A and B are shown apart, each in its own frame.
Chain A
């Protein structure tokens, strides 16, 4: 199998084109969403008002949809498709065409949703909670994005199945395995949001039905909403487990444990949505607590990941002659952006993960729920740990796909970008955490709340957020400059697509890890266990539904 992987080091140019199409959309999204984010922090500082009749919540909807739903999904689909192509072999024409169909479905959907947001017909934020009612075309657009991602995902599943058929009894290549796990999790999770959009919100916005059940719609949304964050995180873990070890010149600590941790994510990412609904009426607290327990289960694979990464780093450092407790740190390639940028991401996941444990804990959630602490939290996790890793991936993947190289000058700029991100995010996310503890709400324009003393205490933190937001926007400009350079102007050459090898090549991953009947069966069982009874309760005790409101 190793010799097989060795032979196809370069992603086929037709697959590269498919990957690049995803990355163009992702980085255009980064620019639009980043710009919106900058303006939001400026508005909240109290020193700036939006021009040309743009609404704060219109901008916030754009920021959330474009970054949380569009940019991430495109980057992930592109990265997973080329990872499969690199490690399981060039896609067949049928697989590649399926990928293109998915891409265009997602793109048509994105444009529809974006137009509705720009026309101010859908200022419902990216969570689109009923009974705020957006234009039907917004919901159609979101549906197309999801359906498109299923079609793209099926290309990955087809490639996996084909590889397994060609290599009976062999564990699949690690990156392909991981892409498959994330795709399966995504498909199971998006069934929830697709159900509420297709069967509740769309007919209701078209006027086919008058009322919508708000609690059920929210529950279906959050059935999807939490695995969504793991859908963002797992591609970053793919890079941390498989790619970063190769970049530093080390080995993957354990191939089997990496697979096991992904299986645990598949099992425990989904039946946990209630920890976003802890403050809601209509759900029995015992069921909430059960899902809190399941939420804590999903911390275990993250603990495994943290161990593996630092074990790889230490083993590598010691193999280079490092001594003492922390001597190995000095041997790591700090001057290499492909390593440093994801590494900053890893570090930010330590406070990010700890904050997540706080958020999932019933009583502490009561203190921070829907305060700007939560915004600070996910700007550490998705907007630092995940996004910096995506940037770190881009710095070798874009030139690999375009047949160019990352020059020394661009590498330096990339490092500057990472450092600026760390500084900007420390200001912004730090200030958000502190203001949140004082009660400052998230998703709110600047307000003095009638001159209340408490609200005045939040203003200095909001100014710090604007300072951080401005630094972050400078970093985004740098990312885009580097992206354009790597896509169109960098010198022609060969940039490596690094894929690590396991430290112990004689140990074969147990085949039970590829037994999808078993794992998907367990996924269904866990979901049924966590959701069936509370769902029946919600339906049986449902109040009269809500008519739609357009309050913006």
Chain B
């Protein structure tokens, strides 16, 4: 099979670019720890309200962990509990969320806090809120007739 010289150059250039992209993603994921939310913990979706930490939704101060607070959300059609929360500026927070019914999304709009919530699974993501302001959480996975009404608010305050 004959490959034209220019095509060889083009493919070498293209494949090298792809390798560079993959290296950047890989180093960021495995060396810097920027993995997508992939929590492996499970939960009984019918007993969420009585299972820790989801029995106490909201911002909870924790000691002796890599993060200062745990921000716990319970999602169900068509709302999040808590509906609004204040987070101190600069706090390192582990966001934990799960759903009691169908699949929901959990996106702090305009940020990279973006997780799927699936019945039976816990989703979590560690982040630092380093900019004051109001952050809208929207459900970004279709969950039924009231899907577009499903939201919550994080207020990052000094």
| Docked-complex contact A289 and B10, CB < 8 angstroms | no
* A-B CB contacts (within 8 Å), total count: 239
In the complex, what residues of B have CB within 8 A of residue A546's CB? 45, 102, 119-120
Residue of B nearest to A212 (CB): B119
Q: How far is the CB of A502 from chain B (nearest CB, A)?
A: 11
8 A Cβ contacts from A268-303 to B: 277-285, 288-289, 292-293, 296, 299-300, 303
**Which of B42, B119, B135 is most buried by chain A, counting CB atoms within 10 A of its CB?**
B119
Q: Known: A214-B119, A279-B37, A361-B21. Contact between A445 and B147, CB under 8 A?
A: yes
Is B144 on the interface with A (CB-CB < 8 A)?
Answer: yes
In the complex, what residues of B have CB within 8 A of residue A218's CB? 103, 118
Is B95 on the interface with A (CB-CB < 8 A)?
Answer: no
Rounded to whole angstroms, the CA-CA distance of A87 and B48 in the bound complex is 61
Is B134 on the interface with A (CB-CB < 8 A)?
Answer: yes
Residue of A nearest to B113 (CB): A366
| Docked-complex contact B122 and A281, CB < 8 angstroms | yes
Q: Known: A363-B28, A439-B107, A453-B134. Contact between A549 and B1, CB under 8 A?
A: no
Rounded to whole angstroms, the CA-CA distance of A281 and B38 in the bound complex is 4
In the complex, what residues of A have CB within 8 A of residue B141's CB? 129, 370, 443
Q: Which of B21, B29, B145 contacts A296 (CB 8 A)?
A: B21
Q: Known: A131-B101, A365-B36, A441-B140. Contact between A454 and B109, CB under 8 A?
A: yes
16 residue pairs of the A-B complex, CB under 8 angstroms, read: A123-B145, A253-B4, A278-B36, A279-B116, A284-B40, A307-B6, A362-B36, A367-B112, A369-B107, A370-B116, A441-B138, A444-B138, A444-B142, A504-B2, A537-B40, A543-B44
Is A55 on the interface with B (CB-CB < 8 A)?
Answer: yes
Rounded to whole angstroms, the CA-CA distance of A521 and B45 in the bound complex is 40
Rounded to whole angstroms, the CA-CA distance of A502 and B107 in the bound complex is 51
Rounded to whole angstroms, the CA-CA distance of A278 and B36 in the bound complex is 6
**Which of B18, B111, B112, B118 is most buried by chain A, counting CB atoms within 10 A of its CB?**
B118
| Docked-complex contact B118 and A280, CB < 8 angstroms | yes
In the complex, what residues of A have CB within 8 A of residue B143's CB? 132, 551
In the complex, what residues of A have CB within 8 A of residue B43's CB? 543
| Docked-complex contact A543 and B22, CB < 8 angstroms | no
Q: How far is the CB of A478 from chain B (nearest CB, A)?
A: 32
In the complex, what residues of A have CB within 8 A of residue B4's CB? 253-254, 311
Q: Which of B39, B111, B113, B149 contacts A447 (CB 8 A)?
A: B149
Q: Which of A214, A260, A362, A452 contacts B1 (CB 8 A)?
A: A260
Rounded to whole angstroms, the CA-CA distance of A256 and B1 in the bound complex is 7
8 A Cβ contacts from B36-89 to A: 36-46, 77-78
Q: How far is the CB of B157 from chain A (nearest CB, A)?
A: 16
Is A510 on the interface with B (CB-CB < 8 A)?
Answer: yes
Q: How far is the CB of A362 from chain B (nearest CB, A)?
A: 5
| Docked-complex contact B115 and A279, CB < 8 angstroms | yes
Rounded to whole angstroms, the CA-CA distance of A551 and B103 in the bound complex is 12
Number of contacting residues on A, CB 8 A?
79
| Docked-complex contact B136 and A455, CB < 8 angstroms | yes
The 9 closest A-B pairs by CB, nearest first: A551-B144, A439-B109, A543-B120, A441-B140, A281-B121, A543-B42, A447-B148, A370-B140, A439-B110
In the complex, what residues of B have CB within 8 A of residue A328's CB? none
In the complex, what residues of A have CB within 8 A of residue B41's CB? 281
Rounded to whole angstroms, the CA-CA distance of A424 and B114 in the bound complex is 30
| Docked-complex contact A296 and B36, CB < 8 angstroms | no
In the complex, what residues of B have CB within 8 A of residue A551's CB? 77-78, 101-102, 143-146
Is B34 on the interface with A (CB-CB < 8 A)?
Answer: yes
| Docked-complex contact B120 and A215, CB < 8 angstroms | yes
In the complex, what residues of B have CB within 8 A of residue A60's CB? 142
In the complex, what residues of B have CB within 8 A of residue A539's CB? none
Q: Known: A363-B34, A443-B147. Contact between A544 and B44, CB under 8 A?
A: yes
| Docked-complex contact B1 and A257, CB < 8 angstroms | yes
Rounded to whole angstroms, the CA-CA distance of A289 and B33 in the bound complex is 13
8 A Cβ contacts from A202-219 to B: 214-215, 218
Is B14 on the interface with A (CB-CB < 8 A)?
Answer: yes
Residue of B nearest to A358 (CB): B21
| Docked-complex contact B139 and A441, CB < 8 angstroms | yes
| Docked-complex contact A366 and B112, CB < 8 angstroms | yes
| Docked-complex contact B25 and A292, CB < 8 angstroms | yes
Q: What 0/1 pattern do residues 227 to 265 of A give for CB contact below 8 A with B?
A: 000000000000000000000000001101100100000
In the complex, what residues of A have CB within 8 A of residue B138's CB? 439, 441, 444, 449, 455
| Docked-complex contact A440 and B15, CB < 8 angstroms | no
In the complex, what residues of A have CB within 8 A of residue B120's CB? 214-215, 542-546
Rounded to whole angstroms, the CA-CA distance of A100 and B7 in the bound complex is 42
Q: How far is the CB of A447 from chain B (nearest CB, A)?
A: 4
In the complex, what residues of A have CB within 8 A of residue B115's CB? 279, 281
Is B126 on the interface with A (CB-CB < 8 A)?
Answer: no
In the complex, what residues of A have CB within 8 A of residue B37's CB? 279-281, 366
